[in-house]
Structure 1
Amino acid sequence: MNAFTQSNADSSSDDTGDGPGGRRSGGLADQFDLRRLANMFRRRARLMGAVAALVFLAVVLVTMTATPMYTATANVMLDTRAEQVVNVEAVLSGLPADSSVVDTEVEILKSRRLAERVVNALQLDKDPEFNPALRSPGLVSSAKNAVTSMIASVTPQEAQDEAIAEQKAQERVVDSVLRGLSVRRSGLTYVINVSFEAESAPKAATIANKFAELYLLEQLEAKFDATQQATNWLNSRLEGLRDQVLAAEAAVQQYRINNNLLSAAGTNLTETEISNYNQSLAEARAQVAEDEARLSTARSQLARGSTGDDLGEALSSPVIQQLRQQRATVSSRVADLQGRYGARHPEMLTANRQLTDIDAQIQAEIQRIISNLEAQVQVSRQRAAAIGGSLSNARGTLAGNNQALVRLNELERTAEASRTLYESYLNRYKETSSQQGIEQSDARVVSQATIPTGQSSPKVPLNLALGLVLALGCGVGAVVLAEMLDAGLATAEDVEQRLDVSYLGAIPLLSSVAEGRVGAPIDYVVEKPLSSFAEAFRNLRASVMYSRLGETVKVVAITSALPGEGKTTTSVCLARSAAQQGSRVILVDCDLRRRSVNRMFGAEPQRGLIEVLAGEATLEEVMTIDSVTGVRLLPLAKSSLTPRDVFGSAAMDRLLEQLRQSYDLVILDTAPVLPVADTRVLAPKADAVVFLAHWRKTPQHAIEAAFRLLSGTGAHLGGVALTQVDMKQQSKYGYGDPGYYYAEYKKYYVS
């Protein structure tokens, strides 16, 4: 570890705390210290007051110059109850009663389309409150006249631009109306509050009511349009379905005709024909059996020797019955004549011949009946055969028809499906048509907006109260921002915690500790040796002497990160203060570019440090003595600027060793670290490096950058001292710092 880093580690190891730089953390009390907070606002009181005053004044001006506005509110309720005039399903159903639907309706009420309808209904584009173009008197009329005079020469592109400009103007009016509209749901209810803010109280009520009215009208129009659209669509669809049904049914009938699938009373004619043929065939066969049985019976009777009198057909024959009556009459006469005249009597013979003739007629009739039975049997057989043939033909036809029925069934199903679809659409068309004219809105106006009696804005008391809070907040924010942007170091705590190095002391700004008119600081430290200003350098010397425990510190290099930190003034004052305490002190000017020591003492030597190192002069020849305190000065000549590395030479080492042997304190006034590399060469040669930082001015990042440059040189950093400290302002910083109690101990010093 290099010496620069080791010194920090040694400094940190002396403390046993956990905080940065070895300081013990005070817990919550350190993190939130009311005194530090109060001090922060004390030192930034002017900034806070100025910002707060400006903000509050701006709020007051805005409030007093604001145009009075009036707000009117109309209440619209989503009605969850629906009147059922007709018991049919509506085309556009009612709104369900849930939160998402209510929120959706709120957005619809805030929609641009509804605002455009309100603008057109109330002609708000002609109202200067909503149309900025009308706020300048005569602007619209002059524009109209200009347009009228130029319309003949307007090109199509210019006409299009004109239309776009008018549309933009209309959109600006709508935007202005929407800015005045406020729509919100009342809690978790179905009530929506429609509020409008305008410069006129009656106008606010009128616009709020118009929003509610057009919202309900838009709901009705939506339902009417939906019903009308559904009716038109169903009507056009019905025409197509009607044609489909007619075509399908015509195809069925034509197929029936083409395939002889005619029917009557819902039954196929071929099937009816077959049924009739089956019945006729059965009857014909029964008739054949009957005729054959009668014929067979008659033949059997005749074969057994019957004369035919006992035949059934003979018994039922009227001819035979008549012949039998005649025979009975003749037989009675024959019997009478037989008994009266005998067998040979002419009348008897005549009667016998009549009887024989009647018997012959009866036999002839019986033969005719038998022949008739045979004919009937033949006819019955032929009839049965004919019916059987027709039945076979019908069955063949039916087999062909059954194959054709497959396609017929498909056509019939298609026709039935088309008919069912057509009937359902027809029923829905009739239901939808019946709903036209009876649509109901899903909401209703609970209360109309009334003309407000008082202005809604600006609310002067509230605005002033909020303005005061805002002003205080902005003031506090300005203070916090200023503190955040303040990258400088103000207290010992800042040095030790933020830089993690030792704090050597504070060099006050002379005007903050001296009363009356004072001269140069290097003279004041001599003139007022008991003053707080002189005491600050004695404290600094003591801190430097004990910055390396157990080692003697004689050679001290004083440097800073940037120019203007007070290095030369501090070096001279520290040298004079040490000389007044009886020490042998020599001040070596090591700033080749500025040579500030010469300017402070008003001298311009011809030879100096560079000549001594070059061997061109001796130390005694170039060294001067401060006539007031006896401090030896090793200045720089006017021509001392050289590109050679004079400070890293062996001659410089020999010179410092010589000075160390001859003097109690050797002060090296060096150049700033960041712009010049000389200090990085000189710093390791010194026993301690005193790093100066301008109070509240030198950025912390600059100091840290300088530390990084010195960290690899092996220099021993004794610590950081704050310069040009305003002791009056320092009392407003964190307590615990010595400067915080300056007001209590400043009387201890002699001015």
Structure 2
Amino acid sequence: MLFFALLGAVVGIGYALTAVPWYSASTQLLIDSRKGKDPDPTGSIAELQFDTGAIDSQVEVLKSERIVTAVIAKAGLADDPGFQRATGSLFSNLMGAIRQSLDIKSWFGSDIESDTEVRFAKERLLISTLTNNLAVKRVARTYVLSIEFSWPDANRAAEISRAFADAYLDDQLESKFDATRRATEWLFARIQELKAKALETDMAVQRFKSDKGLVKSGSSGQLVGEQQLSELNSQLIVARGETARAEAKYERIKSIIDSGQADAAVSEALGSPVIIDLRNKYLKASKTEAELSARLGRNHIQVVSLRTEMREYERLIFDELGRIAESYKSEQEISRSREKALEEGLSGLVGANAGTNETLVALRELEREADTYKNLYQAFLQRYQEAVQKQSFPITEARVITAASRPLVPSHPKKSLVVALATILGLGLGLGIAALREIRDRVFRTGQQVRDELGLEFLGFLPAVTASQLRSMHPTSTDLASTGLPPVLANGVMRYSVGSPLSGYAEVLRSAKVAADITLGGHKPKIIGLASVLPNEGKSTTSKNLASLVAHLGARTLLIDADLRNPGLSRSVAPEARQGLVEVLMDRIPFRELLLHEAETGLDLLPTVSRRDISHTSELISSVAMQALLQDAGQDYDYIFVDLPPVGPIVDVRAAARLFDAFVFVVEWGRTARHVVRATLEHEPVIYEKTIGVVLNKANLAGVRLYEDYGSRDYYYGKYKKYYRDR
């Protein structure tokens, strides 16, 4: 991360030092909506109302090729060689050279271009240059547009910015004039057509009326027949109302007479003096009769005479009501006769006008067509007058409110910002690469990962041994074995635990021995296989150092190289051996005759010599002969360490697992994937159950602390490493 951050800073500084300063000049245009105002002196030109979409449209107009071409002509850029010359930073020029060199077409030469093609390419280049360096934007939410142009020459930048504003204003005036002119020409042609059409339709209406004899009244404008029909219909409605009222009056007075209600009244009875007089006399007699009946009794002659008089008054009242009823009946009959006469007259008039209605349908259609053309003619005539006025008074909605002036300081590159951004981008790139490496880091780094992933005991880290550490070891012994066999060669890495017995490397191997002693107890002999999942994880080196360390501690120790296909241990420590384990198992040679002895530690080694291809290695290593070898060797040795082939690709270990008391797995730190080791052990339950622990080989102890949790044992390696000695 630090490297990429520094690299980004260097690139940013290099760019800032070599970049050509560019200047930005800005001209501001106001797109005046003039809402609610009428700037036209004639008061008839409609005003364009601008909204957000309209303002954004003007931005695109300013960046259009039409305006750019006008600016090129206005500023004379086509004839300015200084403007056409490419100007850029060292980086941009370098990138341009690279792109040109990668242009495959240029490798084979170019076709000869005509003058027209050269001019066209030159024009397109100018347009592209202006467009790329132009920035038009709306100022906040106002009607102001900022026209900003950037160029290495400050004066040229201001000139071109102003040229864009002028070209836009000229284009607005020209576009309005052209649009008005085209609209005027089109409207004039349409007006002539509509005028002729309006006259034609109006004459058709008049001819139709004359042919059909349709006459309209002067006051209402209706046809005479329609007016008569309307008036007659109104009279019929009035007559029906009068008939209904006469029938109601007659029915009312008839019901009074039939029921004998002397005290009931109708309007004519209330106004009749005869009925009023008779009713007064009736009331007076009724009052007297009531008084005399109270004093003289109901059967008195005067009382009976008064009742007879009252009945006469009632008869006279009803006779008068009968005469009134006869007048109501006569009025009812007259109303019915008048209504019937009006209905007959209306029926006759409707029948007479039935043919006229069909004619009126055609007339109204002709009148509607005439009115349509008349209205269109008037509307187009009005629009034509407005267009003529606009053509006489061209205006634009834009004006310059701030003209571009020569900028004093360059606008970009902003050197401090470039350096900061380059540094941040470099840091981000480094962070991304680091994150990618962290995500892909699915190997063993800590002891806790061994416990969590495998459920096995972690025995420790075997550090990677450096050349300086090997040079500082005690010198090896060259004493020959008493048997006269060839001595074990002094390979430094293979005897590091003995040459540096107080090193951290040796301490981890002691931990492995202790783990075996605790797990196996007093079992004799302790047959321990050293295995790995993949090749080249340092298994053979660990086997030799562990066996030498245990032998150096005074235990009778035998180391057997059982990797029959790739005996790396034997090639490293006993390249002079001519016979070994294969001959013991196949040719029944006593193993004691083939042992090599390390005089310095007392370790005995049974090597393996790979002189021929053996296809049945798994059968050999799991054979009865191998079992007999281990049993026989167990009589002379306390510890028998067996360097086994990798468990992953080779089946030998799985076949011979029953012969071993325990296994120690060697896993390369930071290289072997966790899921590979986990999957291998999950498929080999016998090996898994006998595994007493795992050592992480070739570990970078300085880097282990970065992976360990705070408070773990290996996190404090720097504090207790002073107890170790690498020599």
- Does TM-score exceed 0.5, indicating one fold? yes
- Correspondence for 2:373 among 418, 425, 428: 418
- Correspondence for 2:4 among 47, 51, 72: 51
Q: Percent identity?
A: 32
1:203-602 matched pairs, under 5 angstroms: 203-256=156-209, 258-259=211-212, 407-486=362-441, 488-497=443-452, 501-511=456-466, 514=469, 516-518=471-473, 520-546=492-518, 554-602=526-574
Cα 1:415/1:468, change in 2 over 3 Å: closer
State the match for 2:654 in structure 1: 680
- Please state how far the C-alpha of 1:550 moved relative to its aligned partner: 11
- Please state how far the C-alpha of 1:111 moved relative to its aligned partner: 4.3
State the match for 1:194 in structure 2: 147
- Please state how far the C-alpha of 1:69 moved relative to its aligned partner: 0.5
Task: Give the whole-Å Cα distance in 1 for the aligned partners of 2:390 and 2:505.
Answer: 102
Amino acid at match of 2:366: L
- Please state how far the C-alpha of 1:477 moved relative to its aligned partner: 4.6
Contact in 2 for aligned 1:88/1:431 (Cα 8 Å): no
- Please state how far the C-alpha of 1:419 moved relative to its aligned partner: 1.5
Greater mean deviation of Cα atoms: 215-224 or 540-549: 540-549
Check if 1:690 corresponds to 2:664: yes
Contact in 2 for aligned 1:92/1:226 (Cα 8 Å): no
Task: Give the whole-Å Cα distance in 1 for the aligned partners of 2:676 and 2:119.
Answer: 60
How far does the alpha carbon of each residue in 1:189-216 deviate from its partner, in whole angstroms, 9 at most, with x for none?
Answer: 3333221111110111112222233333
Task: Give the whole-Å Cα distance in 2 for the aligned partners of 1:649 and 1:510.
Answer: 37
Secondary structure of residue in 2 paired with 1:614: helix
State the match for 2:283 in structure 1: none
Task: Give the whole-Å Cα distance in 1 for the aligned partners of 2:646 and 2:424.
Answer: 47
Check if 1:182 corresponds to 2:135: yes
State the match for 1:70 in structure 2: 23
Secondary structure of residue in 2 paired with 1:646: helix
State the match for 1:647 in structure 2: 621
Secondary structure of residue in 2 paired with 1:586: strand
Task: Give the whole-Å Cα distance in 2 for the aligned partners of 1:684 and 1:595.
Answer: 22
Secondary structure of residue in 2 paired with 1:632: strand
State the match for 2:104 in structure 1: none
Task: Give the whole-Å Cα distance in 1 for the aligned partners of 2:125 and 2:524.
Answer: 83
Contact in 1 for aligned 2:543/2:643 (Cα 8 Å): yes
Amino acid at match of 1:63: A
Cα 1:614/1:429, change in 2 over 3 Å: same
State the match for 1:749 in structure 2: 724
Cα 1:402/1:570, change in 2 over 3 Å: closer
How far does the alpha carbon of each residue in 1:543-566 deviate from its partner, in whole angstroms, 9 at most, with x for none?
Answer: 454568999993322222333221
State the match for 2:592 in structure 1: 620
Task: Give the whole-Å Cα distance in 1 for the aligned partners of 2:152 and 2:123.
Answer: 20
State the match for 2:107 in structure 1: none
Contact in 1 for aligned 2:565/2:614 (Cα 8 Å): no
Contact in 2 for aligned 1:548/1:718 (Cα 8 Å): no
TM-score, normalised to structure 1, is 0.64
Amino acid at match of 2:588: E
- Please state how far the C-alpha of 1:259 moved relative to its aligned partner: 4.9
Contact in 2 for aligned 1:592/1:640 (Cα 8 Å): no
Greater mean deviation of Cα atoms: 627-636 or 84-93: 84-93
Amino acid at match of 1:211: F
State the match for 1:380 in structure 2: none
Amino acid at match of 1:577: L
Contact in 1 for aligned 2:9/2:420 (Cα 8 Å): no
State the match for 1:611 in structure 2: 583
Contact in 1 for aligned 2:681/2:687 (Cα 8 Å): no
Secondary structure of residue in 2 paired with 1:593: coil
Amino acid at match of 1:192: L
Task: Give the whole-Å Cα distance in 2 for the aligned partners of 1:708 and 1:128.
Answer: 78
Amino acid at match of 1:574: L
Contact in 2 for aligned 1:509/1:723 (Cα 8 Å): yes
- Please state how far the C-alpha of 1:516 moved relative to its aligned partner: 4.8
How far does the alpha carbon of each residue in 1:44-89 deviate from its partner, in whole angstroms, 9 at most, with x for none?
Answer: xxxx444333222211111111111001111223323254126767
Cα 1:211/1:681, change in 2 over 3 Å: farther
- Please state how far the C-alpha of 1:445 moved relative to its aligned partner: 2.0
Task: Give the whole-Å Cα distance in 2 for the aligned partners of 1:739 and 1:89.
Answer: 93
- Please state how far the C-alpha of 1:538 moved relative to its aligned partner: 1.0
| Structure showing greater Rg | 1
Cα 1:542/1:250, change in 2 over 3 Å: same
State the match for 1:26 in structure 2: none
1:104-123 matched pairs, under 5 angstroms: 104-123=57-76
Task: Give the whole-Å Cα distance in 2 for the aligned partners of 1:687 and 1:162.
Answer: 93
Consecutive unaligned residues in structure 1, runs of 5 or more? 1-47, 136-157, 276-395
Secondary structure of residue in 2 paired with 1:57: helix
Amino acid at match of 1:561: V
Secondary structure of residue in 2 paired with 1:510: coil
Task: Give the whole-Å Cα distance in 2 for the aligned partners of 1:222 and 1:550.
Answer: 108
Check if 1:666 corresponds to 2:619: no
Task: Give the whole-Å Cα distance in 2 for the aligned partners of 1:595 and 1:406.
Answer: 119
- Please state how far the C-alpha of 1:409 moved relative to its aligned partner: 4.2
Greater mean deviation of Cα atoms: 627-636 or 102-111: 102-111
Amino acid at match of 2:410: Q
Between Structure 1 and Structure 2, how many residues are aligned? 558
How far does the alpha carbon of each residue in 1:416-460 deviate from its partner, in whole angstroms, 9 at most, with x for none?
Answer: 322222122212221222222434333322211111011112223
Task: Give the whole-Å Cα distance in 2 for the aligned partners of 1:175 and 1:559.
Answer: 70
- The structure with higher relative contact order (CA 8 Å, sep 6+) is 1
How far does the alpha carbon of each residue in 1:653-689 deviate from its partner, in whole angstroms, 9 at most, with x for none?
Answer: 4544555665433222122234433233344643333
- Please state how far the C-alpha of 1:471 moved relative to its aligned partner: 4.5
Coordinate RMSD, CA, aligned: 4.2
Contact in 2 for aligned 1:492/1:737 (Cα 8 Å): no
Task: Give the whole-Å Cα distance in 2 for the aligned partners of 1:120 and 1:681.
Answer: 91
Task: Give the whole-Å Cα distance in 2 for the aligned partners of 1:613 and 1:434.
Answer: 120
Contact in 2 for aligned 1:504/1:544 (Cα 8 Å): no
Cα 1:510/1:473, change in 2 over 3 Å: same
Cα 1:649/1:167, change in 2 over 3 Å: farther
- Please state how far the C-alpha of 1:613 moved relative to its aligned partner: 2.9
- Please state how far the C-alpha of 1:629 moved relative to its aligned partner: 2.0
Secondary structure of residue in 1 paired with 2:401: strand
Cα 1:165/1:693, change in 2 over 3 Å: farther
Contact in 1 for aligned 2:217/2:224 (Cα 8 Å): no
